Amino acid sequence: MSELPFAGRTVAVTGASGSLGRALLLELHRQGAALVALTSSDAPLSLTSAEGQAVPLEQVRWHCGEEQQLQPVLERCDVLVVNHGFNSHADRSAEAVLSSLEVNALSSWRLLELFAGIANANPARPVARELWMNTSEAEIQAAVSPLYEISKRLQGQLLSLRSLDLAGPQLRLRRLVLGPFRSALNPIGVMSAGFVAREILRQVRWNWGLVIVTPNPLTYVLMPLACLSRWLYFQATSKRSAS
């Protein structure tokens, strides 16, 4: 019998109680991963497998702005999926600006720095740690939500910029670029979270760094071009700090 792809690996997922968070945890469990569910919610998270069994998971509470407190948990993890997200929809208030930037962009960036620090502090590890950053098609397309687009673009651009220094033999970075799927964040999405989770894991098995799941054909053309042009521009106009 062939070994499950995630056997022996511990995977932490933020936004664990959301639609994609739950779907990813279920699929990762099916593929052999030990699960750490990172959630900002007080409610206990329980998942049931297709066979009707309770899915074993470690639930850890966290809050945006308190990423550093996750260090001891993340040190035990092989893969971190940065998946939490917030959509203010039509709200353009100062509070909505703050929440969108904080939740979608800054907290994701802080987790990237934290996990990269953990990964790169341990050069002896035989298998590279991985961080998967769930940005969105909104990185490059309209999402009928200006602050969602602005904050997701910032999240994606920071990933492009910092990956120049943080990606390496000890840390594999993957960008998840997803089209509309049904969730609290987007009740009219056309795909199901379960389908999206399965497709993400399929492309990860193919070892793709840019994982795209969307019915929109333009994204498959524009997103690689956006990543390439950012890479060229950021390489040409910035440099690694000596410190």
Ligand X SMILES: NC(=O)c1ccc[n+]([C@@H]2O[C@H](COP(=O)([O-])OP(=O)(O)OC[C@H]3O[C@@H](n4cnc5c(N)ncnc54)[C@H](OP(=O)(O)O)[C@@H]3O)[C@@H](O)[C@H]2O)c1
CB of 198 to ligand X, least distance (A): 15
Nearest to 177 by CA among 208, 144, 146, 145: 208
Neighbours of 56 (CB within 10 A): 9
148 is catalytic: yes
Q: Does 134 bind ligand X (CB under 6 A)?
A: yes
Question: Catalytic: which of 148, 160, 166, 213?
Answer: 148
Q: Does 151 bind ligand X (CB under 6 A)?
A: no
Question: Is-contact 40 16, C-beta < 8 A?
Answer: no
Cα–Cα distances (Å) from 205 to 5, 26, 83, 133, in that order, read: 8, 16, 19, 16
Q: Which of 28, 103, 154, 197 binds ligand X (CB under 6 A)?
A: 103
CB of 35 to ligand X, least distance (A): 13
- φ and ψ at residue 48, rounded to 5 degrees: -120, 130
Q: Does 181 bind ligand X (CB under 6 A)?
A: yes
Nearest to 164 by CA among 118, 116, 204: 116
State the residue number with the nearest CB to ligand X: 18
Contact footprint for ligand X (CB under 6 A): 15-21, 39-41, 64, 83-86, 103, 134, 136-137, 178, 180-181, 183-186, 189, 193
Residues designated as active site: 148
